[in-house]
């Protein structure tokens, strides 16, 4: 059997928050349980969104929790040539086309159109030729209905829940997440992608790219999101949600691990625990696909 390989893929756009820590804990437990390897990949593809000091703090927070890795950190910002090569293959196969629509134009054209799980479908305006040849084009991948797949936790995700041509390279020349993540996961030998379930609707797009590039997709496990008390996806406006906030409030890594493990159904109560103790009892069975809320520090 192939070696189990997975990855942490943080974007250095802010602090590591509780939702990231919960997903990283599942990643660590799953990989260690399978005697597999973890790659650390910093997703710094979009320079304007990168925050000074974020990468260092994210790496420190992983280390504080004991969530180690075996390879990396690798940086997407140094891997542009690989994305170029993949794009050239998609171009040669006729799977992409230049698109000069602005976001506003796409929105206006699709305002009353049916929406998929991640928004409206691109209406195909530039499929034959760019609508505004004088503009710098983005590059879109041709996709009608996105393929279905079976998530290791959420179960079947039907074909066609997302669809439409999507951007693989932006008009400013930056590569889009969808292409970079597929090239990286493939080249880094990832056999299972573990990430937050806000990215579920990206998965059919990525599987379509694997197929177009002639690569076998990995399996996918999407961990439910952590919500703020108001039921919205956890974010800065919910106050202290960063791992560092808990540390500064005097929490030990064991206490935070216990709280996270309890939220994953791995402990009957949020009592302090260690990674080796969790590893012994780890199973995906008690994990519910429902989102959770967690206590403030």
Interaction between residue 10 and ligand GLU (CB under 6 A) = yes
Whether 236 is catalytic is yes
Q: What binding mask, one character per residue, do residues 173-212 give for ligand GLU by CB under 6 A, x or -?
A: --------x-------------x---x-------------
User: Is there a contact between 144 and 212 (Cβ–Cβ < 8 Å)?
Assistant: no
* Terminal alpha carbon distance of the chain: 43
Interaction between residue 121 and ligand GLU (CB under 6 A) = no
User: Is there a contact between 38 and 6 (Cβ–Cβ < 8 Å)?
Assistant: yes
CB of 184 to ligand GLU, least distance (A): 9
Furthest CA-CA distance within the chain: 62
Helices 54-65, 253-263: crossing angle, 10 deg rounding: 80
- Closer to ligand GLU by CB, 6 or 100: give it: 6
- Closer to ligand GLU by CB, 136 or 232: give it: 232
Interaction between residue 222 and ligand GLU (CB under 6 A) = no
Q: Find tokens 């602090």 and name the residue.
A: 15
Interaction between residue 11 and ligand GLU (CB under 6 A) = yes
- Contact window for ligand GLU (CB under 6 A) among 9-17, 149-157, 166-174, 245-253: 9-17
* Nearest residue to ligand GLU, scored by beta-carbon proximity: 195
Return all residues near 32 (Cβ < 8 A) that are at least 6 apart: 275, 279
- Contact window for ligand GLU (CB under 6 A) among 8-16, 50-58, 109-117, 261-269: 8-16
Question: φ and ψ at 166, to 5 degrees?
Answer: -125, 160
User: Is there a contact between 6 and 190 (Cβ–Cβ < 8 Å)?
Assistant: yes
- Closer to ligand GLU by CB, 210 or 272: give it: 210
- Contact window for ligand GLU (CB under 6 A) among 3-11, 61-69, 97-105, 289-297: 3-11
Cα(29)–Cα(34) distance, integer angstroms: 8
CB of 130 to ligand GLU, least distance (A): 30
Stretch 39-98 residues interacting with ligand GLU (CB under 6 A): 43
Is the preceding peptide bond at 207 cis, omega within 30 degrees of 0? no
Q: Among residues 56, 236, 288, 289, which one is catalytic?
A: 236
Class of residue 145 by CB neighbours under 10 A (exposed 0-12, middle 13-18, buried 19+): middle
Binding interface with ligand GLU (CB under 6 A): 9-11, 43, 181, 195, 199
């Amino acid at each position: 059997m192939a070696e189990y390989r997975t990855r942490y893929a943080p974007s250095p756009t802010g602090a590591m928050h509780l939702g990231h820590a919960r997903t990283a804990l599942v990643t660590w437990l799953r990989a260690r349980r399978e005697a597999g390897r973890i790659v650390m990949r910093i997703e710094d593809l979009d320079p304007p969104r990168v925050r000074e000091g974020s990468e260092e703090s994210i790496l420190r927070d992983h280390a504080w929790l004991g969530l180690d890795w075996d390879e990396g950190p690798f940086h997407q910002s140094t891997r542009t040539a690989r994305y170029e090569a993949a794009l050239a293959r998609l171009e040669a196969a006729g799977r992409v086309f230049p698109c000069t629509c602005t976001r506003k134009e796409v929105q206006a054209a699709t305002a009353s159109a049916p929406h998929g799980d991640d928004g409206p479908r691109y209406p195909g305006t530039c499929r034959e030729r760019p609508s505004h040849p004088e503009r710098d084009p983005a590059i879109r991948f041709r996709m009608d209905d996105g393929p279905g797949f079976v998530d290791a936790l959420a179960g079947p995700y039907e074909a066609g829940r997302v669809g439409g041509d999507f951007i693989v390279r932006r008009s400013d020349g930056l590569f889009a997440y969808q292409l970079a993540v597929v090239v990286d996961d493939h080249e880094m030998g990832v056999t299972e992608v573990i990430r937050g379930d806000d990215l579920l609707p990206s998965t059919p797009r990525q599987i379509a790219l694997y197929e177009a590039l002639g690569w076998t997709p990995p399996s996918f496990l999407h961990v439910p999101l952590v919500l703020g008390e108001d039921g919205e996806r956890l974010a800065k406006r919910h106050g202290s949600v960063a791992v560092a906030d808990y540390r500064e409030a005097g929490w030990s890594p064991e206490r935070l691990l216990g709280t996270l493990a309890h939220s994953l159904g791995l402990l009957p109560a949020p009592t302090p625990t260690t990674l080796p103790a969790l590893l012994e009892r780890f199973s995906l069975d008690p994990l519910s696909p429902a989102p959770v809320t967690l206590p403030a520090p």
